[in-house]
Structure 1
């Protein structure tokens, strides 16, 4: 058994339809890094086991929707923040927080995708629902070297979009192009205060950075384009002007991956299963043991890790 998550058996779950599971894999996400290093107000109460996602197998359930042996995945719902999270070997959670994994997706593959990939898929879906289509123009992806950014590039490329990747690590250009980026640009052009309206450069963007970066991304978006905002690596602030929204009709979508309806979660995971192969995903990860989580968190916060961090909690 390779395990992944634990919400304490001693912590009450306010839902009779709960179950215990022996997860098979977990991950270390940006939000986990913030919690572990104390660089962000993520943890709501102590003590706390971090880990905002996990995938595993049901061992027992009082929820009629699940039976022992079912393979499941969890993203969000305050796990790792308000409820003990995925960086452990057992979990007891509400049945409503889970969905069954697509048949073709192993627990390990689910955690290579993880909350980062799930968030990237939600972002792509938001742009599609707004009417952004391949051929409409370039799509910018900021924070391209991170988990959300890397998988967003892969998804957009698979769907036929021309992707422009923004990164502060020029040495990663070949890696980002291997994921499907057609062009790589320096994040420095976005990270400082800029003009309220700038040259129209892309029809859409997926931003995991926030702050001045998001403001500049919106300012450079073409008329009737759209931006999906799903992260805050640079900051929670949004020092922007209303000009792109009023004068160009740019739409800004906030991507909340934590409490999405089950139907939307299932749609996202079904599409992830069909679009991303195991071989492609393997190129985006580093794998660590549970004992390495704390030391890796500092590197993650310092931008020294690319792609996804998969955690084998049995070592």
Structure 2
């Protein structure tokens, strides 16, 4: 059957992250690919308590269809308690609750972007945002980063060269607005796992390999020699039952292949050590030549 998709649909590509997350379902693979939180830190019992309380107080109304804008009491809390700290005088009618950040990014692109509009963004940037924007066929204008984030002088240059840019997409920090009684716990665990991964990369990776020293979040960013392709190297890593995310899709206009991303939050200590050893074993073959 010859299905006639739209031009936009024909331009879509499979998500690199989604495809790589399939690797996490293979028990023999030590996967640093997904941006997954540590499952042992999920507040399961607390969520059970909250769910039981909601069912007791709200009953069937909690399971009924609601307004597309989202649960009104939550929208009122966001407007009054959260937006007021930003000195924004809003009401619940100004707030739209989305199903995760990805839907918010998609709505932003749908609202503001026409084909050919300039989107200024960090390079590299969040792959989910790149994919959400790319479906609307903008022109990506990449701005280099340093250890402090987007380079302001380069951003000013990009703005002068693209005065009609519709959007600047930047990630100001690594935090998510979760509760304080849980954040301290995960910070302690993730901090130890981050330190262990960095220590192992320094020990088992070739000395020429560079990596970030993240102050938060779930990932470390690794830079290989310019002539190396992290996607091709990963094919060898898969044979060693270890995985990461090749970095090229994180650059809006692609072409930079010598980077990859590793996640340190989801794996226990023994798998972090073994997984980094396996990647190091593959990398050392390329740096010995």
Specify the TM-score bucket, using the shorter chain as the normaliser: under 0.3
Higher relative contact order at CA 8 Å, sep ≥6: structure 1 or structure 2?
2
Structure 2-normalised TM-score?
Answer: 0.25
Greater C-alpha radius of gyration: 2
Tell me which protein shows more strand as a share of its residues.
1
More helix by share: 2
